[in-house]
Amino acid sequence: MKQRLLFLGPPGAGKGTQAALLCDRHGLRHLSTGDLLRAEVSAGSELGKEAESVMNRGELVSDSLVLAIVKAQLGALNGQGWLLDGFPRNVAQAEALDPLLQELNQPIEAVVLLELDDAVLIERLLSRGRDDDNEAVIRNRLVVYADKTEPLIEHYRQRGLLQSVEANGNIEAITERIEGVLA
């Protein structure tokens, strides 16, 4: 299976769940910028303090901060495969990632786009109950996704890397669909 992956898709599409399962089954490192940022918030670090209020509004944390986190993580991997989940989230981040991966000599092998209708997304996020999962913030995150992150679909399609997967149905069936496009 491909070893250097990127997940794209709206909040609530199941990126985190599928990424964790896939990484477990295939020995990849799961790099979720959302999880890494939440760990900083829980630890009460300076970085976490800076990120917390931005996250709770459903806005994006600064590119430089997220990029520093990703760079440190990728640099420490020693050849293990990886799956980036929640990064890049805008065109500037994608344009910063390309030269970083070139420098590491580790190009992306596939980009998986998880697709799901807004109505289902909102329902799923409301039942999750995280700090940034109330209805107003969820709507804002969907707007931010449409404005900032969706343009990346074209960015990666043009590079011939994009694979779309329907993200409805049961968890196991979706994992199999993803494995199917990455074989």
Q: Which is nearer to ligand ADP, 94 or 162 (CB)?
A: 94
Picking from 121, 141, 130, 125, the residue whose alpha carbon sits closest to that of residue 54 is 141
**Angle value at C-alpha 162, between 158 and 163, nearest 5 degrees:** 150
Q: Which is nearer to ligand ADP, 78 or 113 (CB)?
A: 113
What is the smallest separation between the CB atom of 34 and ligand ADP, expressed in angstroms? 2
Q: Which is nearer to ligand ADP, 28 or 61 (CB)?
A: 61
What is the smallest separation between the CB atom of 120 and ligand ADP, expressed in angstroms? 14
Contact residues for ligand ADP (CB under 6 A)?
11, 15, 33-34, 37, 54-55, 58-61, 66, 86-87, 89, 93, 132, 141
What is the smallest separation between the CB atom of 155 and ligand ADP, expressed in angstroms? 14
- Number of helical H runs and strand E runs in the chain: 9, 5
Query: How far is Cα 136 from Cα 21, in angstroms, rounded to an integer?
Result: 30
Query: How far is Cα 148 from Cα 2, in angstroms, rounded to an integer?
Result: 27
